């Protein structure tokens, strides 16, 4: 699985002019599922997303914590996650001028692992909003930072 993770103040996803997913402070995650991915990749991705410390501490004069350090996770801040399926993350742009998608999972498998990832995140007590799998979506976000990371479960 590959994910692009953005720390956001808010984010929405629309399909056919209707908002289908919306969050406040938290993570906007674009998730692409590959042919070789399995339940263990979904578990890895969910665990990383929930616990990745990319939110800043507040200033605390009673401790050595200084504002600006990334020491808090989306779970720590009681944030939210907007999970958007994105098969183009599995695109291979190394040859030619048109990306190849041979590495992308078949839709049925990809949707199952996308949904499993969402359920594992929800199991940690976080609100998860989702896009519509396979739909043409318009995603809007207010990036916080901006802070953006790329995560690939095959490199763990």
Supply the CATH number for residue 47's domain.
3.50.80.10
Residue 60 contacts residue 69 (beta carbons within 8 Å): no
Count: domains in the chain: 1
Query: Domain range spanning residue 126?
Result: 2-155
3-state secondary structure 47-97: HHHHHCCCEECCCCCCCCCCCCCEEECCCCCCCEEEEEECHHHHCECCCCC
Segments in the chain below pLDDT 50? none
Distance of CA 42 to the CA centre of its chain: 12
pLDDT of res. 105? 97
Summarised one tens digit per residue, pLDDT across range 122-144 is 999 999 999 999 999 999 999 99
């Amino acid at each position: 699985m590959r994910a692009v993770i953005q720390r956001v103040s808010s984010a929405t996803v629309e399909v056919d002019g209707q908002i289908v997913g919306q969050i406040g402070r938290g993570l906007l995650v674009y998730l692409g599922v590959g042919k070789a991915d399995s339940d263990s990749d979904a578990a890895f991705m969910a665990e990383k997303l929930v616990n990745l410390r990319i939110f800043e501490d507040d200033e605390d004069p009673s401790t050595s914590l200084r504002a600006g350090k990334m020491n808090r996770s989306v779970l720590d801040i009681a944030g939210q996650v907007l999970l958007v399926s994105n098969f183009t993350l599995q695109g291979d742009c190394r040859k030619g001028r048109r990306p190849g998608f041979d590495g992308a999972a078949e839709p049925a498998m990809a949707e199952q692992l996308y949904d499993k990832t969402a359920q594992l995140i929800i199991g940690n007590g976080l609100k998860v909003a989702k896009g519509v799998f396979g739909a043409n979506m318009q995603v809007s976000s207010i990036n916080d930072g901006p802070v953006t990371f790329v995560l690939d479960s095959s490199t763990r």
